[in-house]
Amino acid sequence: MPFRTIPRDAWDHLLEGNQRFATDTSVHPHSGSSRREELRTGQAPFAAVLACSDSRVPVEMLFDAGLGDLFVVRTAGGCVDAAVTGSLEFAVTTLGVSLIVVLSHEECGAIGAAVSSFEEGDLPSDLTRVFVEKIAPSVIRAKRDGHEERSAIEEIHAAETAEHLVHRIPPVQARIADGSLGVVAARYRLEDGRVTSVEEHFAG
């Protein structure tokens, strides 16, 4: 994979795929039987993506990526726990991805629930409380900085999560420093199918 050691090229490659998706010109790479056969012996994705579980955010489709191209971790609201952290560390140290993308999205229900809980001062009593509590710091940061719009809160949540990964996973921090890994916080718009960068962590 030509993007393995060049993180910015990996990000550019994903954006090119998203451009095709958003303009209905997807080429659906690496989707045939020969690719399936090739992957029987192992995987070598060039990027990892942490995204929301929302059914409207099909990660491989919106980047026009194929089988074996992306290592995808999905949770409600793109929330991080030990399993998510361990999965992304595995992607970096074992699979050798050159990019991690933290992808939030327009009209995220989990973020909406966190915003409502913050504004009403009432945490859910069921298991949705788990992700509401994890998203709360992003809501607090947004409110502190004077942002009330959902779009801004979604962007800030992506940035907060990316910063969390950079500072809490030692191999991520080390590989950003040596230039072999990049971390990008981004947001996907349901409205037009576009992914836009919110915050980028690249060497230099």
Map 79-106 to HEC letters.
Answer: CCCHHHHHHHHHHHHCCCCCEEEEEEEC
Strand, coil or helix: 188: strand
Q: Are strands 47-52 and 99-105 parallel, antiparallel or unpaired?
A: parallel
Number of H helices, E strands in the chain: 8, 5
105 is in an annotated binding site: yes
Decide if 100 contacts 181 (C-beta within 8 A): yes
Whole-number Å distance between alpha carbons of 53 and 202: 26
Q: Is 52 annotated as a binding residue?
A: yes
Rounded CA gap, 56 and 127, in Å?
22
Do residues 203 and 178 touch, judged by C-beta distance below 8 A?
yes
The answer to whether the annotation marks 108 as part of a ligand binding site is yes
Task: Of 189, 187, 186, give the one whose Cα is nearest residue 200.
Answer: 186
54 is in an annotated binding site: yes
- In the annotated binding site, the residues are 52, 54, 105, 108
- In the annotated binding site for Zn(2+), the residues are 52, 54, 105, 108
